[in-house]
Amino acid sequence: MIRFHKPALLWLGLPLLASCGTIVGAFVPPQTVGNLAGLNGAMLTSSSALQIQSVGGTVQYDTSASLPPASFADLKYPSDVPFGMRPHAASVKMSLTDATISGSCLTPDAFNLTIDTFSIGLWDSSDKASAVTLKSSPKITIRATKTTTGIGGTTYQLTSNTVVANADQTSTDRAINILTTGGKNDTGVSMQISADNDALAGCRLSFKLGDASVTLSNFR
């Protein structure tokens, strides 16, 4: 199982917008917040070796399990949300820049990697059962090409790729509630992956996140 964990303030970054003293959320354009929860550069690492069945596994990251823990504080409402406007829709986007293979296995010069599922969750640290989770099935195939081999494993450069998960009004409202009540928060990211080369069975696979961002919209 490959796990990625890091704090994800998915919904921060609301703009300060006013027009003649009147705030009209419908006229607020979508706002994109970069380096989502500081996830840029995070390493997503498998907790177990890849299996021979389609040579697949799961990669995950969780802020509550990171060392040190990376839980993050609540958003203060309404002081941290200008004019009390809240987004009621959101789109989370993440890219992978490179991969590292380690363990007792052969490392091919190149292989294809498919991201079958992508999910990101947010919850109050004291109540993981309350998590709101966004899911998607990207089914995108990425070409991995060997670049370097060293003590830490073999590194591969990945072709351009992006995974996206969208939140509807219900999920966005739940996320805002988590971020404004209940104290500290945590987030977790998970991807189910598969590769097309049987030589990778028994390997451990890690990914580095490139750009992680959230676009907020439907303000009111």
pLDDT in tens, 64-88: 887 777 888 887 766 666 556 788 8
Lowest mean pLDDT among 59-63, 135-139, 153-157, 173-177: 59-63
Of 8 and 199, more confident: 199
Range of the structural domain that residue 120 is part of:
2-219
Q: What is the pLDDT of residue 125?
A: 93
Which residues, in sequence order, are CB contacts of 202 under 8 Å at separation 6+? 49, 50, 103, 104, 105
Token digits of residue 141: 């195939």
Lowest mean pLDDT among 32-46, 75-89, 146-160: 75-89
What is the CA angle 190-67-12, rounded to 5? Answer: 60
| Backbone φ, ψ for residue 168 (5° rounding) | -85, -175
- Respond yes or no on whether the N-terminal peptide bond of residue 78 is cis (omega within 30° of 0): yes
pLDDT band for position 55 (50/70/90)?
Answer: low
| Backbone φ, ψ for residue 73 (5° rounding) | -75, 160
Q: What is the pLDDT of residue 56?
A: 72
Per DSSP, 67 falls in state S
* Total number of domains constituting the chain: 1
Q: Round to whole Å and give the CA distance between 118 and 189.
A: 8
pLDDT band for position 208 (50/70/90)?
Answer: confident
Q: Round to whole Å and give the CA distance between 215 and 124.
A: 22
Lowest mean pLDDT among 29-33, 180-184, 197-201: 29-33
Place of tokens 């996320």: 175
Q: Round to whole Å and give the CA distance between 45 and 35.
A: 19
Token digits of residue 109: 């010069």
